[in-house]
Structure 1
Amino acid sequence: MILHRIEWRLALGAACVSLSAAAGASDYPSKPIQIIVPYAPGGSTDQLARALQKPMSDALGQQVVVINKPGAGGTIGTDQVVRAEPDGYTLVFGNSGPNAIVALTRKIPYDLFKDLKPVSTVALTPMILAVPTDSPAKTVKDFIAYAKKHDGKMNFGSVGAGSLSHLTGEYFNDMAGLHMQHVPYTGGAPMLPAFIGGEIQAAFVTGLDGATMLASGKVRYLAVGTERPTDVAPGLPAIAADVPGFRSVAWFGVLAPKGTPDAIVAKLNRAVATAVANPEVNKLFRERWIEPHSSTPQELTDIIKSEVAQWKPVVQKANIQN
């Protein structure tokens, strides 16, 4: 009899929690929503997050506020969201770094797959092979031949040790049979004088990070990391045409703390999709060589899993630690 009473009380408690969650979801959102950008203001992730503020606010009927919490490669801001109440009012604007790659190079305070609940992707962007305008290489095939001729004497830059641009360079080295040396910088802008001064002979960048370099006229693009040419980067061939199987694409997306009710995640997913489909957002993204792309939560989960599988052997082989 006592056991039956305990079971009944447990069932009643679970039912109350379920009803409470359902009630919270039905009137969600009833106050402003915070999207944490785990990087400093003005960077590529910050720009994309802020582009979504107004259309998401309009779709949800509540203000969406972007807050910057930079540090430790994006893990400080991400960990803050992991520890937040799972009520849909604190989200993180994630990307390949803190949500896939950083965990491969060092210990982080959260679990990639257990502590966050994907909501939707927002955008995809290929990594682009950039070279100085005075480089003798006009194609990827030319570049590989030139690098092999100067084996071990060429440098490639990145936006930081352990970043996707770093891993992409090491991945390219391995797949193309090259031995370029890695030189890390603190972002895309500091790489411009490095190109001009001859410190580096190549770099893998996103359209956002490489915009200043390209506009300077001192840097040009050779090819993209998508499996096939993309209209996001018109006129550029795919690296895979000369390095079969090569693929390197960055993503941006929205994630919530684990335990966030499915009904709230569904509302957020619809709001992200509406915002990404907004014509002004589309125009802004494409001007920056970024493909607007919303998704289901499962698709974002699959993207993260595939990234971990792709980059783990690269990190291990190149002994990358950050």
Structure 2
Amino acid sequence: MTVKTMLLGLTAALIPFSVSHAQDAAASYPDRTITIVVAYPPGGFNDQVARLLAEDLSTRFDETVIVDNRPGGGTVVGTDLVAKAEPDGYTLGISPFAFAVNPGLFADLPYDTETDFAHIAVLGGAFNVLAAHPDFPADTVAELIEHAKQNPGEINYGSAGNGSSNHLSAELFKSLTGTELAHIPYGGSAPARTDLVAGRVDVMFDNLTNVQALIESGKLKALGVTINEESDLMPGVPPVSATVPGYEVTVWWGLVAPAGVPEPIVAKLNNAVNEFLAKEDTIEKFQAQGVLPIGGTVDEAEAYVAEQMKTWIPVAEQTGMKVD
């Protein structure tokens, strides 16, 4: 018997063992604490959706599921933590909008966005609202554009950090309108929003869920929404695209794991997430904040993220939003 024949025989013998081992791992999964990493501080929907999911999985699996907030580096800190975690299904992460744009934003990432992650499911999608402090002189998108052109570089906008949907929303706006707005990046949308309410920031594109109550209470005013039609959740607020043709931004959230997690565990998590998203309680909580549950298969999640990367990486590159 040749060495090649022996190796082929050994490989063939190991295949059923590997499959059996993965199936056994899935059958007993989980048998200890699961951590969901959020690459933002507490307060935004990235954090909220993680906590809703953690509560559901804790009950569903009868195991502790905790949320670990790891903000910093435009979500790179938390995302890298997930990428380099043991691929056993016990470290998961919320993949935000920034996940798909960072390859076009950062000159060098500590992980490979395309190969270092297993996408479990897309949790939901929403839109941003262009909000301003009540004392800001512009009350409409058209007035904002005129004011910005009359005062180039003097109007500032806040964001949750480089590469966030807040940042991309504003940069796309600048690109399409030919305006100059000064970017003030924060370590999350909550501190940026605090400064917007205080008047230290002029305008901000933020998730509906984060600004709706502030707008309804008069602490902020809404100039536009980033989808192509008026929303029932923000009545009377026109789409930005009504003034700026071609403008549209959809925010999304997904659940990821490190690449290499056994497929049976990924499938088990995908099934659990889809059941979570189908619950009436989840749907009500999502929709109350302008978030549409998405879900679907693992393949659909992979395709969705790939399409987001195809859309936003060129925008980041074209607008020159490079971060060293």
The CA distance in 1 between the partners of 2:73 and 2:156, in whole Å, is 25
1:42-191 mapped onto 2 (5 Å cutoff): 42-97=43-98, 99-106=99-106, 107-135=108-136, 137-191=138-192
The CA distance in 2 between the partners of 1:63 and 1:197, in whole Å, is 38
Tell me how large the CA RMSD over aligned residues is: 2.8
**Partner residue, 2:253:** 252
The alignment of Structure 1 onto Structure 2 pairs a total of residues equal to 321
Long gaps (5+) in structure 1: none
CA contact (8 A) 1:52 1:281 kept: no
- Kindly tell me: are residues 275 and 220 of structure 1, through their superposed partners in 2, closer, same or farther at Cα, counting changes over 3 Å? same
Identity across matched positions, percent: 33
Deviates more, 1:59-68 or 1:251-260: 59-68
Following superposition, the deviation at residue 122 of structure 1 comes to 1.5
The CA distance in 2 between the partners of 1:95 and 1:189, in whole Å, is 15
Is the counterpart of residue 291 in structure 1 residue 292 in structure 2?
yes
The CA distance in 2 between the partners of 1:190 and 1:4, in whole Å, is 63
SS at match of 1:244: coil
The CA distance in 2 between the partners of 1:161 and 1:115, in whole Å, is 21
Deviates more, 1:69-78 or 1:134-143: 134-143
Deviates more, 1:73-82 or 1:3-12: 73-82
Long gaps (5+) in structure 2: none
Q: Residues 278-312 of structure 1, C-alpha deviation per residue, up to 9 Å, x if partnerless?
A: 33333333333333332322333233223323332
Question: One-letter code of the match for 1:83?
Answer: K
CA contact (8 A) 1:34 1:65 kept: yes
Question: One-letter code of the match for 1:204?
Answer: F
The CA distance in 2 between the partners of 1:82 and 1:208, in whole Å, is 28
The CA distance in 1 between the partners of 2:141 and 2:317, in whole Å, is 26
1:16-55 mapped onto 2 (5 Å cutoff): 16-55=17-56
The CA distance in 2 between the partners of 1:232 and 1:117, in whole Å, is 33
Q: Residues 36-84 of structure 1, C-alpha deviation per residue, up to 9 Å, x if partnerless?
A: 2233344432222111222223333443332333433332332232223
Question: One-letter code of the match for 1:258?
Answer: A
Q: TM-score, normalised by structure 1?
A: 0.86
Q: TM-score, normalised by structure 2?
A: 0.85
The CA distance in 2 between the partners of 1:109 and 1:68, in whole Å, is 19
The CA distance in 2 between the partners of 1:102 and 1:47, in whole Å, is 22
Following superposition, the deviation at residue 235 of structure 1 comes to 4.3
Following superposition, the deviation at residue 275 of structure 1 comes to 1.5
1:6-25 mapped onto 2 (5 Å cutoff): 6-25=7-26
Following superposition, the deviation at residue 94 of structure 1 comes to 1.8
CA contact (8 A) 1:189 1:212 kept: no
SS at match of 2:87: coil
Question: One-letter code of the match for 2:25?
Answer: G
CA contact (8 A) 2:72 2:187 kept: no
CA contact (8 A) 1:232 1:290 kept: no
The CA distance in 2 between the partners of 1:42 and 1:121, in whole Å, is 20
**Partner residue, 2:229:** 228
The CA distance in 1 between the partners of 2:28 and 2:194, in whole Å, is 53
CA contact (8 A) 1:229 1:238 kept: yes
